[in-house]
Structure 1
Amino acid sequence: MAITRRSFVVCLATASFLALFGSPAFAAEPVTLKISHQFPGGTIDAGDFRDRLCRRFAAEIEKRSGGALKGTVYAGSSLMKTNAQFSALRKGALDMSLVPLNYAGGEVPETNIGLMPGMVTSYEQAAKWKNAEVGKALSEVLANKGVIIVSWIWQAGGVASRTTPIVDPSDAKGLKIRGGSKEMDMVLKEAGAAVLDMPSNEIYAAMQTGALDAAMTSSTSLISFRLEEVAKHLTTGRGKTYWFMLEPLMISKSVFDQLPKAQQDLIMTVGAEMEKFALEQAKADDQAVAAVYQKSGGKAYDLSDASVKKWQAIARDTAWKNYGEKSESCARILKLAEKLL
């Protein structure tokens, strides 16, 4: 077939375009981020709000990127074990995770501030961390370790107990309790309890066998892991509490750095938007967990200002002191956190 001058010009223009922008057949494949967490799986509209948040995040980035950026959620530690997630993020072996920050305390001591008893006592105070000096300092530490916080998620927590309610520190004496962090364990030991260390998704089995008398965890976990079936006494986190946990959605820095700027911006924008949803759901669960226990025949107890201050006083002399002595970095973060008290 003869090539006319017009068809030659068209072919030349097309070749130039493909050279500059690439053929659709060889265009970059959509990026799918693997998002891992330890909590029960559900749907985007029902179930543990942390799972729903991850699914909402995945749906939103896919929608706004036109399918160029996606997310696949792996619930219930189905992708990897709970305690392996943070290390995998640092190495780039895992893309994203929603996990209690203090679970990384063995690798990065500064992260133990994420569940420092008595340091955060309200959602209003917790919300200030992200843009305050303490939040910036913590973000810098994490970035240097290969992790970026995408969504700042705080949750109040309570205590589920098999035998007796735990309201004041004196109530913990002689009991086997899961505190949720090394710092909380220090407070419990000072109060006379024996402490056990385990992820929240292992509490039910331990309480069912009698290996554990009581456990401190977030209101959402108290509901999701059906602890009312094995523990009939609940000290709630609604209103006032000394137990607040930072449980952020995070992304591996090495994975993040490989993404185009537009996709990086999209991730951080959607991540920030998820914080409003997290706050609303966390507060709702603080109220809902009491109803769950009462419906199952259990009893719910609230903390008074006096009780919170008793726990906080022990924490200041044990956990806070120990944390501040770990390193200059920990001492600095502690000092910045105390500015928000």
Structure 2
Amino acid sequence: MSIINHAKNLLQAAVVSAVVLAPAVQAEAITLRGASMFDNEHAFTKTMVRFGELVDQYYDGELVMDLRLNGELGVESDYVTFLNQGVAIDYSIMAPSNMATFAPAIPLMDMPFLFRDLEHWNAVLSSDVLAPLEGELKEKADLVVVGYSGGGTRNLISSKAIGNIDELAGHKMRVMGAPIQAQIFAAIKAAPSAIAYNEVYNAIQTGVVSGLENEAASLQNLKFYEVAPHVTLTRHSITVRPIVFSGKSMRKLPVELQAAIMRAGKEAGAFGRELEAREDSAKLKEMADAGQIQLQEFANREQLLELVTPVQDEYAAELGATDLLAAIRAK
């Protein structure tokens, strides 16, 4: 065999080998990491699991959805920083108040006494009314809202019974860090204090505060009822919990995956809203039936609405969001 023919045979063999091996050579899988403060049973976690399933369904590529639970990667205030910097995690669900450091107007979407009822709340979240706030969050925090979860009804949780505005006066309670939260609860005569979420249980146990405000899922999941068994049904908030994705992470992804994320986020948000709204009253009843909490209505709740409306109006005016607040109320 000539040297030329031998070379040709080697070349042909190499080509055949390359063709045979080509299907086994695949692009490296893309990993997207999420974070939850809660366990598998919490509505936030279930919603993020659903989000991951939908992203995987809509994206025709290799994908790993790595969701870390039980506060392994910190608390929501940590998540905001990570997402803004594009490190550690790519997506999460969190309270708008935790994003106020970057985008001061964002807590307006979660302001106490904003929504009349679940129907009003769902109408707002199913529309584009909140688009101005989404734009501010993207511009100032580089966070992308891909969907809206939430649906828990927040009530007062306390170590002593509170049934009316006189008993509420001077009540030391933990609130989220956004100033509007403290302003609203100060207006209804309580004594609000911003405390890190992971410190609340001990703060109640040691008497630093006498309670907090929260929805049933977190009350049950974090066992706040052990130190604060009284639940006063003020129904002051129906939670808005954006599913947020890091802008820095998003821009690194293939456009097809970005489209899948946006589509999945909207659908997962609707899934999460239905899930949490449905579970909320069931969880309250479950804890009450188990003797873990004592439920009480708040007398003359209309007094609270009268006290907070001027505070809401002033807050919106300071943000230049008077028209937005009017649009929300009119939905």
Contact 2:149 2:270 in 1 (8 A): no
Contact 1:159 1:234 in 2 (8 A): yes
The match for 1:183 is 180
The match for 2:286 is 291
Amino acid paired to 1:331: T
- Please report how far the alpha carbon of residue 4 of structure 1 lies from its aligned counterpart in structure 2 after TM superposition: 6.0
Secondary structure at the counterpart of residue 327 of structure 2: helix
**Is structure 2 residue 93 aligned with structure 1 residue 98?**
yes
The match for 1:323 is 315
- Please report how far the alpha carbon of residue 303 of structure 1 lies from its aligned counterpart in structure 2 after TM superposition: 5.4
Secondary structure at the counterpart of residue 236 of structure 2: coil
**Is structure 2 residue 232 aligned with structure 1 residue 219?**
no
Separation of aligned partners in 1, 2:293 and 2:35: 33
Query: For each residue in 1:96-122, what CA deviation from the matched residue of structure 2 results, as whole angstroms up to 9, or x when unmatched?
Result: 121111111232111111321111132
Contact 1:219 1:286 in 2 (8 A): yes
Query: For each residue in 1:64-91, what CA deviation from the matched residue of structure 2 results, as whole angstroms up to 9, or x when unmatched?
Result: 5466222211223321343122232222
Amino acid paired to 1:217: N
The match for 1:52 is 46
1:1-341 to 2 correspondences below 5 Å:
1=6, 3=8, 7=12, 11=15, 25=25, 27-38=26-37, 40-42=38-40, 47-62=41-56, 64-65=58-59, 68-93=62-87, 94-145=89-140, 146-155=142-151, 156-165=153-162, 167-180=163-176, 181-236=178-233, 241-283=235-277, 284-296=279-291, 298-302=293-297, 306-307=300-301, 309-318=302-311, 320-328=312-320, 330-340=321-331
Separation of aligned partners in 2, 1:159 and 1:230: 13
Secondary structure at the counterpart of residue 246 of structure 1: strand
Amino acid paired to 2:319: S
Contact 2:30 2:64 in 1 (8 A): yes
Amino acid paired to 2:150: W
Contact 1:123 1:154 in 2 (8 A): no
Residue ranges of structure 2 left out of the alignment (5+ in a row): 1-5
1:133/1:81 Cα in 2 relative to 1: closer, same or farther (>3 Å)? closer
Contact 1:177 1:214 in 2 (8 A): yes
Amino acid paired to 2:65: G
Structure 1 window deviating more from structure 2 (89-98 vs 52-61): it is 52-61
User: 4+ runs of 1 displaced by more than 6 Å?
Assistant: none
Secondary structure at the counterpart of residue 243 of structure 1: strand
The match for 2:3 is none
Separation of aligned partners in 2, 1:120 and 1:199: 26
Secondary structure at the counterpart of residue 92 of structure 2: strand
Contact 1:172 1:188 in 2 (8 A): no
- Please report how far the alpha carbon of residue 197 of structure 1 lies from its aligned counterpart in structure 2 after TM superposition: 0.8
* Percent of aligned pairs with the same amino acid: 18
Query: For each residue in 1:26-61, what CA deviation from the matched residue of structure 2 results, as whole angstroms up to 9, or x when unmatched?
Result: x532111111232x222xxxx112122222322443
Residue ranges of structure 1 left out of the alignment (5+ in a row): none
